[in-house]
Amino acid sequence: MQNSNLVKDIVLEKAQTTFSGIEIDENTDFFSVGISSLAVVNFQMEVEQALNCAVETSELMANSTLGDWVNLYQSAAQTN
């Protein structure tokens, strides 16, 4: 089980490196700022490798803000 603050820090760090040059915060929808679904899946793989847990791609695509992802990965990390 991972600390929820650590999960948040990792998701935000991976977003900064994966989406460098794009201003994005916890409330920004990935798709509203022009991030492609392929880039989102690459981001998913980076996050899951760092956290050693997984969330269904379809669930992540339906919840496409960093804040949503933090919540989903915090839940997944608690059950892992």
Return the pLDDT at 78: 87
User: What pLDDT shows up at residue 2?
Assistant: 63
pTM metric for this prediction: 0.90
Domains present along the chain, CATH in parentheses: 4-79 (1.10.1200.10)
Q: Give, to the nearest 10 degrees, the angle between helix 4-18 and helix 37-51.
A: 140
Query: Would you state the pLDDT for residue 37?
Result: 94
- Is the Cβ–Cβ distance between 47 and 73 less than 8 Å? yes
Instruction: Provide the 3-class DSSP secondary structure of residue 62.
Output: helix
* Structure tokens, 1: 């089980």
Mean pLDDT by 10 residues, the chain (80 residues): 84 93 92 94 97 96 96 90
Q: Which residue has the tokens 């793989």?
A: 45
